């Protein structure tokens, strides 16, 4: 593998000194870019785009051609694992993912199995190795997975949900069924992320998109416990370098100490927790990634720059901050505004690393 020319993202995650704060954006390869929409049109469907290593590589690299980003993230979807379990995933226009065979009982749950990474999910590993090769050491490549709880919400609900009524009914009424599902998912995610690391991912992020809908007690039992199991099972070194692990629970600001205690290297923050408060709570244990409100990118470039300066100042001096949005970039954002955001981070952050 080519020597890494820009490793400030990996160094910041391990709280090692850097010359400036590294920056990337969740969903940086996506619908806000006209070149992404063109490639997606060429691919046919969203999953066809994920399954085509060359096209997945193309869209992964598109934002790096536009902006001085410090990391690339694998272009894929969090639902690849449940899809590989044979639940009949399809994407409906306007309503998102739908599973034809949702999991509603212990009998359904007992049919779940850990997919074979070398056949069922080989297309993801092909994409990882293709992207890594084409990056040629420019920046590190991030691999990722959904958290067991987040994946389970889609598998039990049969798609997206605003109320999570089916999965919460199962959690409260049939906890053993949900624990069985989560256990199979945790084992699957461990193998999935380790296979991504072996294929060339240099850091991994676990997206717990829906952890924030749980009570504190239920979060610890049904989400955090399984992420902890995953962190314990991950390969933490490859190619002679550490492979940092980022945990991101949207709406999880109240559980930062418990998340840091899993042994992960970094925590993703959404925009509902001030970064100075988060650093005061967990700063010597983990790095922090975040946490500008993605809606700030609708504002003028001047206002965006002001916000970037505010967040940098709030974090303060020293390493251990990866600048990011508090969630994925919205599809309607003007690419010029995303550029203004990244430019502001690269220009304003050096003073905090003297």
Residues annotated catalytic, as ranges: 27, 31, 40, 77, 154
154 is in an annotated binding site: yes
Distance CA 152, CA 169 (A): 13
77 is in an annotated binding site: yes
Q: List residues bridging with 341 in a β-sheet.
A: none
The single residue listed with the structure tokens 């624990």 is 179
51 is in an annotated binding site: no
327 is in an annotated binding site: yes
29 is in an annotated binding site: yes
Tokens of residue 258, six digits:
């418990």
DSSP per residue, 283-300: TTT-EEEEEE-GGGGGS-
Of the candidates 352, 344, 343, 333, the one whose C-alpha atom is nearest the C-alpha of residue 305 is: 344
Torsion of CA 293, 298, 300, 303, to 10 degrees: -10
153: Cα separation from own chain's centroid: 17
Distance CA 256, CA 249 (A): 9
Left (φ > 0), alpha (ψ -120 to 50) or beta: where does 338 sit?
A: alpha
CB burial of residue 6 (10 Å; 0-12, 13-18, 19+): middle
Q: Strands (DSSP E) along 100-243, which ranges?
A: 141-146, 203-208, 237-238, 241-242
Structural contact between residues 71 and 64, judged by C-beta atoms closer than 8 angstroms:
no
Tokens of residue 280, six digits:
């005061």
Residues 6+ apart with CB under 8 A from 103: 87, 109, 112, 152, 155, 156, 181
Tokens of residue 94, six digits:
């306007």
39 is in an annotated binding site: no
262 is in an annotated binding site: no
CB burial of residue 338 (10 Å; 0-12, 13-18, 19+): buried
Q: What does the DSSP 8-state code read for residue 330?
A: P
Binding residues for substrate: 27-31, 77, 154, 209, 327
Binding residues: 27-31, 77, 154, 209, 327
């Amino acid at each position: 593998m080519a020597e890494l020319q820009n490793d400030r993202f990996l160094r910041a995650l391990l709280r090692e000194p850097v010359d400036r704060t590294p920056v990337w954006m969740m969903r940086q390869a996506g619908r806000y870019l006209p070149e992404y929409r063109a490639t997606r049109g060429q691919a046919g469907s969203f999953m066809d785009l994920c399954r085509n290593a060359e096209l997945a590589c193309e869209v992964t690299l598109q934002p790096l051609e536009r902006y001085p980003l410090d990391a690339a993230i694998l272009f894929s979807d969090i639902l690849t694992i449940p899809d590989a379990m044979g639940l009949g995933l399809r994407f409906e226009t306007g309503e998102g993912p739908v599973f034809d065979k949702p999991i509603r009982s212990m009998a359904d749950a007992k049919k779940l199995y850990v997919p074979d990474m070398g056949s069922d999910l080989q297309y993801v590993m092909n994409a990882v190795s293709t992207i890594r090769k084409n990056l040629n050491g420019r920046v590190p490549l991030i691999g990722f997975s959904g958290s067991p709880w987040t994946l389970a919400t889609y598998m039990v609900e049969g798609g997206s949900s605003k109320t999570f009524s089916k999965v919460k009914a199962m959690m409260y009424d049939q906890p053993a069924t949900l624990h069985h599902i989560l256990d199979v998912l945790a084992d699957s995610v461990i193998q999935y992320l380790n296979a991504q690391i072996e294929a060339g991912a240099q850091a991994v992020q676990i997206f717990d998109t829906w952890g924030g809908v749980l009570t504190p007690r239920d979060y610890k039992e049904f989400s955090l416990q399984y992420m902890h199991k995953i962190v314990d099972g991950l390969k933490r070194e490859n190619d002679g370098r550490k492979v940092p692990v980022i945990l991101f629970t949207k709406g999880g600001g109240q559980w930062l100490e418990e998340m840091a205690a899993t042994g992960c290297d970094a925590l993703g923050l959404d925009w509902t927790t001030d970064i100075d408060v988060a650093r005061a709570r967990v700063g010597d244990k983990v790095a922090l990634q975040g946490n500008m409100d993605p809606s700030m990118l609708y504002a003028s470039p001047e206002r965006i720059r002001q916000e970037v300066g505010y967040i940098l100042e709030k974090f303060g001096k020293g390493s251990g901050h990866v600048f990011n949005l508090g969630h994925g970039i919205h599809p309607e954002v003007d690419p010029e505004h995303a550029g203004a955001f990244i430019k502001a981070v690269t220009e304003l952050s050096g003073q905090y690393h003297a």
